Amino acid sequence: MAQIFGATIVMVLIGVLFGWLLPKMSALSVFSSRLAGLVVMAFVAPAIYSVNSGVPYVAALIPYGIAALIAAVIFYFLKSRQQAA
């Protein structure tokens, strides 16, 4: 549970970073940029974790995939508030 919570925080922070950088370099919206960051991190983060801890990649992919889904839901709810403002 703690691993999923920590992974969610990291996914949100990296997604916000992508959401800030990609619209400056491309025509993507902030929401699309954040989701692109989540897609990248959903496959990169388990690889980094499995190399450092010795856990198989597939076993690391499950909690990081769950964390990416939770982060996507957070971004969805942030999107609706940003458009209303």
Distance CA 80, CA 43 (A): 27
Average pLDDT over residues 74-79: 85
- The pTM (predicted TM-score) of the whole model is 0.80
How confident is the prediction for the chain on average, in pLDDT? 85
Instruction: Give the tens place of pLDDT for each residue, 55-71.
Output: 999 999 999 999 999 99
CB 30 within 8 A of CB 19: yes
What is the band of 80 on the pLDDT scale with cuts at 50, 70, 90?
A: low
pLDDT at 81: 53
- How many Å apart are CA 51 and CA 53, to the nearest integer? 6
